[in-house]
Amino acid sequence: MELAGRSAVVTGAAGGIGRATAVALARAGARGVALADVDREGLEATAAQVKDAGAEPLVVPTDVASAAALEQLFARSEAAFGALHVLHNNAGLAGGEPAWPETPVARIEAMVAVNLTGVILGTRLALPRLRAAGGGAIVNTASIAGHTPLPPDATYAATKAGVEMFTRSCATLRESHGVRVNCVCPGVVETPMLYTTTASGRIAAWLAPVYEAVAPLAPEEIAAAVLSLVRDESQAGCCVDVPNRPRRTA
């Protein structure tokens, strides 16, 4: 799919991977990018970058766990840009501290609602609009943790495994709806989420050894993988790893 003149919706767009993808879509020629997140201040900052990159931003504060909120997001995007062509289901939460099995129940509920339910609802509610536009592309953000055990954050790993299987199960939508659904599976990425899962604002203690052993990915690296999946018409139901590289040692 060529992105020139197209419109997109990016969830979790207030920073990190979502912001990087929104800007990348703009630079690739997208006409408009709707930005969704619960962090309005972060969305406004992303909107400024999207505008500078050449696209029209639309800020829509959105809780992706709410079907009503997602319906409003897609309706506003369609009204602003005329059609919907691309959706990046990116919004997500990690468990942080305390590690599993002491993860607070409220945090577990939130992770399942945002990481998994949000992706399923987003896909379901966007499909009719993408189909009406003549087809399109959906890219979900999963994680390498979705197919590699992560004992300290078992809930996060389970939600991302769910995103992977959901993505694979949507492969047939290319034939039935003209919509290709794929996902990216990053390793550790240098995003604000790493620092917002503990009261101290530091990386969770259980994650620190991993962070010290590998070079964290830049959000722009994940955005590049997202754009590749949007553009590549041969990809449907695919889960693409974006792994970390070991840190260089002296």
Tokens found for residue 16: 């990190």
Task: Tell me whether residue 217 is exposed, middle or buried, using C-beta atoms within 10 angstroms of its C-beta: 0 to 12, 13 to 18, 19 or more.
Answer: buried
Place of tokens 């919907």: 84
With residues binned 3-state (H G I as helix, E B as strand, rest as coil), the percentages for the chain, rounded to 5, are 45, 20, 35
Residue count of the chain: 250
Active site residue 211: no
Q: How far is CA 52 from the centre of its chain?
A: 22
What does the alpha-carbon distance between residue 221 and residue 224 come to, in Å, rounded to a whole number?
Answer: 5
The one catalytic residue among 156, 174, 180, 242: 156
Place of tokens 């840009």: 81
Report whether 115 contacts 92 (CB < 8 A). yes
Question: DSSP 3-state assignment of 28?
Answer: coil
Residues annotated as part of the active site? 156
